Structure 1
Amino acid sequence: MVRVQIGMLGPLEIRLDDGGSIEVPGTRLRALLIALALEPGRAIPKATLVDWIWGEQPPSDAANALQALVSRLRRVLPDGSLDVQAGGYRLTVRSDAVDAVRFEQLLDQARGGADAQQAELLREALELWRGALMQDIGVQDSAAADAVITRLEGLRLAATEDLYEAEIRLGRGAELVAELTELVARHPVRERLVAALMRALVAAGRGAEALVVYQRAREALADTLGVDPAPELSALHVALLRGEIGAQDNERKTNLRAELTSFVGKNGDIAAVRELIAAHRLTTVTGPGGSGKTRLALETARTLLDDLPDGAWLVELASVGAGGDVAQSAIAALGLRDALLGAAPNAEPMDRLIAALRERETLLILDNCEHVIDAAAAFAHRLLGECQRLRILVTSREPLGITGEALWQVVPLALPAEDADPGEIESSSAVQLLRDRAGAVHKDLAADARTLSTMARVCRALDGIPLAIELAAARLRTMSLDQLANRLDDRFRLLTGGSRTAIPQHRTLRAVVDWSWELLTDAERMVLRRLSVFSGGASLAAAEQVCADTGGPEGQGDGKSTAVERWEVLELLTALTEKSLLLYVADSAPPVGSPGEPRYRMLDTIKQYARERLVASGESDLVRREHLSYVTELAATAEPHLRRADQLEWLATLEAEHDNIAVAMRGALAAGDAAGA
């Protein structure tokens, strides 16, 4: 049997045992491969393959057309991969080397097992899915392909339901609320998912919300299918109304969940945030996406539980829409019943919450506020004004911007220096995190000098961003450390294996940055993508020249026109800095007699994303020319000063722009602009 791995539960992926990969060109060639791979080791009749590839419109000479495709596929695959059999063709790979086949094998093994074993097998099966099934086949009117897609998608959904039910029986329901809420929103008439969400909410002490979920499901079933809930779901609803399940523990002081991984590299931050909370009633933890704001807030809150008579409560806002009610989310998080709210049940949610918290000494954690920043600011301002013993800890990519707010900026994990020795590399927090998370999926990872050096290279490429490092560690399930390090130039395609229980914007590296990008104005997007042309950062003057646009077409990326005047650039740079997409770096060692000039920089991950957006916008050539013009003018201005008393200041200026000068020169040469170079 040929030693290859074929993945079709997502984009088609063919990996060799030596770590290499194979690209299969053309939709029909991919369709042929998938049709054969669905039944590895078995001869597939030619008529079946023709139906798969051409559907209702086969060519006039289908047999010869199929034979030509088989010949092409044989040239692409390793030798011996395809056999000719009587009346058909056979793919000679192991059955478990095809992810779709392996998926069904795991489902069969899970049936009838104990809950723990069933959950483990189902989780392994569902983790094989990397995206939409067979998304890059492109066949038209193929009933055979449609039938397979429908069957496998149905099995996936049923396996998901089986997994949640097993996890809830194991007592893990409270941990699944966020994920089940999202799934029920996508599949509102899947009654097993609805029941699972209701049980998970009950396990989290949120029985009132479970009743709301049932009511919404009943309405969806009536509107969509014209039916009532099944007896099983109705029985669960009645049991909840009677108080037969989910009796609430009134002594519960928190809804913070136990973490499954260790907390690495930010213990000093916990102490700092504790001090801010002690001195200020509103503290906001800011930082770029994936930098660990939520984890820092939760770890800090756990250390404070013994000092808070009324506990600490997490209000998760990531799933709240732009017009969502923050107060209602807080009521749900605290699990407050109407009888305990001290106000009429028909009162506004904010009034009910104030009545409940007015005399309580508690900490409220508002998590992921950036998309509802105005609503969160208004909520915090009013609640703190009326509940004098309350403290609020916020996580957001930008501050709330209200009086009395204390800020703590979360920075990426410490990285080892380029010339660090193995001991220094091993002690850096970024490498410690990578080793910790990699150890969960790669038990025999070495700790020699070469391995540590490669780990340092991975962490530097990922800017020390904790989420990016965790996504990279997850990739070590299926590739070596060297392969990972060598492929990080394409990090947004590579780092896609996030936790299934994470919020959607934290499941892939691209989703992390997409979330920030979608929250920007058109003008902020223009400035951010144009800044990606700089290397080593940009001064304010440089940014003003390159990023301003007085109304030319914004490009194909957004399909709009945006005018950004030169005087507006500073305001936009400030906004991007506050939103954790730019770093504002002061000159730490300016020449004697010079004040030094601060610069705006991007993390490499943000820069790569912004550069992709720049290319998509169609502005690349325009921005390159503006960048070249800035560098050329700077050099011409500096030249006479290099022989004057202010020589040191100008040499320092040119040194700061060294990388930009080199980038401009290479860009000009690549564009055939010899004069500019």
Structure 2
Amino acid sequence: MVGRHAESVDISRLLGAGTRLLVVTGPAGVGKSRLALEAACSMRELFEGGVEIFDRAQESGSEEAAEKLARLTECVRSTTAPDGVQPRRLLVVDNHVPGDEPLREQLRRSLAHDPSLSILLTSREAIGWYGEKLYELHPLPLPSPAAEVERFLTSPSVQLLMGRSDGYLGDLERHGPARLAVLDLVTALDGLPLAIELAAPWLKALSPEALRERLRFSLEMLSARSAGVVSLRHSSMSEALAESYYTLPPEARSTLVQLSHHDEFTFEDVHRIIGGDPSANDRTLRLLVENHLLRVHQGGLGNPRLSLLNTTRIFAQETERADRSAGPLRERTPVNERVYPLTPRQRQVAGLIADGLTNREISKSLNIAEWTVINHVREVMRRLGCSSRVQVASWFAVHGRPREPLSPGTTPDSWRSEPATRSSIP
């Protein structure tokens, strides 16, 4: 953990004060899971009844996840204390998926039936229950261009980049231009821990200036495979953003893409940019803000301005270019009616499931962590409405292969074994 001491203390204080449901939200790659686990480890003495962790990403189906959670909440019950008071217990639910109704119902039931239980939950958005407490996690602070050398080097975003680059940044203490280049890089990475960790290994081969230049129009280099990182939950920054983007309704996706071509804008600006019904636009903007794809900057006289994180902007523009290159199929078929509801990586995983590979074998084939594969499998099943790997294989046999080669000389069989790219979306 780098630069999250204050946040960890905040979470401990809120739960210690009796908060029953604390939901940690924030943009993709901001480090919600790490913070929740760190805070949970620091509160074992406070919760004498026990601290348990449930990772939704490791479960395949909603019903199975809810059943496992029910067993877990029963197993961690402690014996009643001599004074008859049940000792407090903490359940950490990591990687909650909005819309997972069986799990939501089990969480509601657990809170209602066990007054000694508190839940710390990480999610892309709020649960929406009365009494929940939201804790929004922001990116790591960025250093000021005018900061003194010591303050610059102790900035959390710079510290994380230095720590993950194995000393390849050079002597930042003595070289002002080098510090400015590093500032430009961490700013382009939005101070997001995931983006910084994926970018840092490249500094062994590229200067900060060269890496920043390559990140101007593409997130391709921010992937675990290209950076040689295997210990992160997400295999790429694009994958982390896709989890939020592809669950949005088509009109929200279209709005985000249009806004990605503008720096900052007001609500009135948005109505001029995208047109249409202002009330519908406001609902769409609220959805984008709640999913942390838009940021709100409170301005004077109650006139807030909105903007996108740089990584979100690049992702949206890459997606727009992929949509344009996909041809007439996307133009004539509504997004939610396509037979390709999966991201490129998810279709790749579905193809390997159809080949009969286990999670461990898929992990080795794609060079990603096994628990990342588990998360992909779970999301594939959810999006396709499947309850088993056999059903996923059946879907892929009918819909999974592209109808024509992705590029000259590329066959369907080779497509499935090669790294997926956005431009290959059918």
- TM band (smaller chain): 0.5 to 0.7
For 2:313 and 2:259, how far apart are their aligned partners in 1? 8
Residues 550-561 of structure 1: pairs in structure 2 closer than 5 A: none
3-state SS, counterpart of residue 600 of structure 1? strand
Q: Is the 8 A contact 1:377 1:401 kept in 2?
A: no
Q: Is the 8 A contact 1:309 1:362 kept in 2?
A: yes
Residues 150-169 of structure 1: pairs in structure 2 closer than 5 A: none
Q: 1:455 to 1:324 in 2, by over 3 A?
A: farther
Q: Is the 8 A contact 1:376 1:400 kept in 2?
A: no
Q: 1:371 to 1:407 in 2, by over 3 A?
A: closer
Q: 1:368 to 1:320 in 2, by over 3 A?
A: same
3-state SS, counterpart of residue 318 of structure 1? helix
Q: 1:376 to 1:577 in 2, by over 3 A?
A: farther
Q: Is the 8 A contact 1:283 1:407 kept in 2?
A: yes
Residues 263-662 of structure 1: pairs in structure 2 closer than 5 A: 263-279=1-17, 280-321=19-60, 323-330=62-69, 336=75, 361-439=88-166, 442=167, 445-447=170-172, 448-449=174-175, 450-497=177-224, 499-503=229-233, 506-535=234-263, 537-549=264-276, 565-587=277-299, 590=300, 595-618=301-324
TM-score, structure 2 as length reference: 0.67
Q: 1:484 to 1:369 in 2, by over 3 A?
A: same
For 1:486 and 1:329, how far apart are their aligned partners in 2? 47
For 2:70 and 2:246, how far apart are their aligned partners in 1? 28
Residues 235-274 of structure 1: pairs in structure 2 closer than 5 A: 263-274=1-12
Letter of the 1:446 counterpart: D
Q: Is the 8 A contact 1:322 1:371 kept in 2?
A: no
Task: String of CA shifts for 1:358-390, please: whole Å, max 9, x gaps.
Answer: 956311111111344544433322210101100
For 1:405 and 1:601, how far apart are their aligned partners in 2? 27
Structure 1 residue aligned with 2:378: none
Q: 1:428 to 1:341 in 2, by over 3 A?
A: closer
Give the RMSD, CA atoms, in angstroms: 2.8
Quote how far apart the aligned CAs of 1:284 are. Answer: 0.4
Letter of the 1:315 counterpart: F
Task: String of CA shifts for 1:423-462, please: whole Å, max 9, x gaps.
Answer: 33212111011111112xx468433333333222210010
Q: Is the 8 A contact 1:322 1:372 kept in 2?
A: no
Letter of the 2:257 counterpart: R
3-state SS, counterpart of residue 402 of structure 1? coil
Letter of the 1:613 counterpart: T
- The share of aligned pairs that are identical, in percent, is 28
For 1:534 and 1:618, how far apart are their aligned partners in 2? 19
Moved more, 273-282 or 420-429: 420-429
Quote how far apart the aligned CAs of 1:578 are. Answer: 0.9
3-state SS, counterpart of residue 23 of structure 2? strand
Task: String of CA shifts for 1:284-308, please: whole Å, max 9, x gaps.
Answer: 0000111011111111111101121
Q: Is the 8 A contact 1:308 1:361 kept in 2?
A: yes
Letter of the 2:242 counterpart: D
Structure 2 residue aligned with 1:51: none
Q: Is the 8 A contact 2:78 2:86 kept in 1?
A: no
3-state SS, counterpart of residue 414 of structure 1? coil
Q: Which one has a bigger Cα radius of gyration?
A: 1
For 2:142 and 2:321, how far apart are their aligned partners in 1? 30
Q: Is the 8 A contact 2:168 2:204 kept in 1?
A: no
3-state SS, counterpart of residue 291 of structure 1? coil
For 2:271 and 2:169, how far apart are their aligned partners in 1? 51
Q: Is the 8 A contact 1:463 1:603 kept in 2?
A: yes
Q: 1:443 to 1:543 in 2, by over 3 A?
A: closer
For 1:548 and 1:377, how far apart are their aligned partners in 2? 36
Q: Is the 8 A contact 1:282 1:393 kept in 2?
A: yes
For 2:75 and 2:116, how far apart are their aligned partners in 1? 18
Letter of the 2:251 counterpart: A
TM-score, structure 1 as length reference: 0.43
Task: String of CA shifts for 1:307-349, please: whole Å, max 9, x gaps.
Answer: 2123211111124456444323325767959xx999xxxxxxx
Give 5+ residue unaligned stretches, structure 1: 1-262, 343-357, 550-564, 620-677
Task: String of CA shifts for 1:526-574, please: whole Å, max 9, x gaps.
Answer: 2211211222x2211121232245xxxxxxxxxxxxxxx3321111111
Q: Is the 8 A contact 2:27 2:293 kept in 1?
A: yes
- Which structure would you say has the larger RCO, counting Cα contacts within 8 Å and 6 or more residues apart? 2
Q: 1:434 to 1:321 in 2, by over 3 A?
A: same
Q: Is the 8 A contact 1:474 1:497 kept in 2?
A: no
3-state SS, counterpart of residue 283 of structure 1? strand
3-state SS, counterpart of residue 525 of structure 1? helix
3-state SS, counterpart of residue 284 of structure 2? helix
